Amino acid sequence: MVRAQDLARFRELGVIASIEPSHCIDDMRWAEKRIGARVADAYRFASFLKSGVRLAFGTDWDVEPLDPRLGLYAAVSR
């Protein structure tokens, strides 16, 4: 979870956001119930890109499926 006001800071510091997109497929089933409105700050793939933050995706194998296509699908469709 990254607040909108921190996106510019990520860019300025040259932070590479390392994300496992496939988690959002599972997490979104329960996230809002557990963390409320803060869920809007989760999985900000497009926000990172629009802010000029570099992204690195991973699969988080063996917690999540190894197939990278699932992560790409999750990142695109959220």
3-state SS string for the chain: CCCHHHHHHHHHHCCEEEECCHHHHHHCCCHHHHHHHHHHHCCCHHHHHHCCCEEEECCCCCCCCCCHHHHHHHHHHC
Would you state the pLDDT for residue 12?
Answer: 97
Domain-wise residue ranges, the chain: 4-77
Reply yes or no on whether the pLDDT at 78 is more than 80: no
Q: pLDDT (tens digit, 9 = 90+) per residue, 9-58?
A: 999 999 999 999 998 888 888 999 999 999 989 989 899 999 999 999 99
Q: pLDDT (tens digit, 9 = 90+) per residue, 46-72?
A: 999 999 999 999 998 888 889 999 999
Whether 60 and 22 have beta carbons less than 8 Å apart is answered as yes
Closest by alpha carbon to 73, among 11, 40, 37, 24?
24
